[in-house]
Amino acid sequence: MTQFPYSILTERLSLRRYTSDSANELFNLVERNRHQLKTSFAPMAEQLIRIANVMEFINTSTVAWNQGTVYQYGIHRRFDDKLIGQIKIKNVNVEKSAIELSYFIDQAWQRKGFAKESVMAIMRLAFEKMHFKKINVRIIESNIESLHLANRLGFVEEQIRKHDFVCGFGEVHDVHYLGLHNRNLH
């Protein structure tokens, strides 16, 4: 079974698996970004409305982690340990040697390179150390910043699925499916 590490360090960030100690910080992160999350992370925005829901989310995340199916990391700034986002590895397919990423950054910390730094850390780990051959992302058409980031990192659009995603506001969105094949990141 493929197993990702519990933590990953970058120059400015610490990506760490959620634990019960993360509950208050995670709840506060969702609260600060609930409106934004309803667009791309509707289940998270709609379900994590109390600390008890967050604890259940963390417990479910731990089970998925232990089963090797989903790996969710809180994105923390190293200098003050503040939780500023999440990056999730999902749809782990060992046979096809592929994974899918999703991520978000607290609105107060966007456009500072934290999403790029997080995604690049996972790319290096997945390609160079774990020898995956492909990383996929799905991004709704209105998320221009994330589409630009994926393109800058070398992801290539493979298809656009029309009317493929209903967000938490009931709006229907087209979804861009992008992929990145293993390459030298140096």
Q: Give the domain CATH number at 161.
A: 3.40.630.30
Residue 186: band (very low, low, confident or very high) from pLDDT cuts 50, 70, 90: very low
For residue 138, what pLDDT is reported?
Answer: 96
- Among 17-26, 67-76, 150-159, 167-176, name the one with the lowest average pLDDT: 167-176
Residue 183: band (very low, low, confident or very high) from pLDDT cuts 50, 70, 90: low
Summary mean pLDDT of the chain: 94
Question: Is 117 contained in some domain?
Answer: yes
The count of C-alpha atoms lying within 13 angstroms of the C-alpha of 156, restricted to the half-sphere facing its C-beta, is: 6
Q: Convert the pLDDT of each residue in 60-79 to its tens digit.
A: 999 999 999 999 999 999 99
Statement: residue 184 has pLDDT above 50 = no
Question: Is 24 contained in some domain?
Answer: yes
Question: Is 119 contained in some domain?
Answer: yes
Question: Is 1 contained in some domain?
Answer: no
Q: Convert the pLDDT of each residue in 10-45 to its tens digit.
A: 999 999 999 999 999 999 999 999 999 999 998 999
First-to-last CA distance in the chain? 28
Question: Is 106 contained in some domain?
Answer: yes
Structural domain span for residue 83: 7-181
For residue 1, what pLDDT is reported?
Answer: 59
Question: Is 186 contained in some domain?
Answer: no
Q: Count how many domains the chain has.
A: 1
Question: Is 177 contained in some domain?
Answer: yes
Neighbours of 82 (CB within 10 A): 14
Question: Is 2 contained in some domain?
Answer: no
Q: Convert the pLDDT of each residue in 84-117 to its tens digit.
A: 999 999 999 989 999 999 999 999 999 999 999 9
Please state the pTM of the whole predicted model. 0.93
Cα–Cα distance, 165 to 171 (Å, whole number): 8
